[in-house]
Amino acid sequence: MKLVVINGTPRKFGRTRVVAKYIADQFEGELYDLSVEELPLYNGEESQRELEAVKKLKAVVKTADGVVLCTP
């Protein structure tokens, strides 16, 4: 089973990141870290779908069997 854990905080050393990394490590999941990746705030524009960061996140989630969202 492929698990993707998304760290939803922009803080590089925040507690949410610590929890997200712990979950990813414990369940051999992939960590998608928004404190590292530059994902723009969604504003409803169709053009945002073509941004590389958005394409990357969509590809990661699409191949996952499960997704865990960690937010502050």
Chain-wide mean pLDDT for the chain?
93
56 confidence band (pLDDT: 50, 70, 90): very high
Once rounded to an integer, what is the mean pLDDT over residues 24-39?
93
Once rounded to an integer, what is the mean pLDDT over residues 50-62?
93
Once rounded to an integer, what is the mean pLDDT over residues 21-31?
97
44 confidence band (pLDDT: 50, 70, 90): confident
6 near 70, Cβ under 8 Å?
yes
pTM of the entire predicted model: 0.86
Residue 41 has pLDDT above 90, yes or no: no
Q: Residue 53 belongs to what H/E stretch?
A: helix 52-62
1 near 65, Cβ under 8 Å?
yes
Domains assigned to the chain:
3-70 (3.40.50.360)
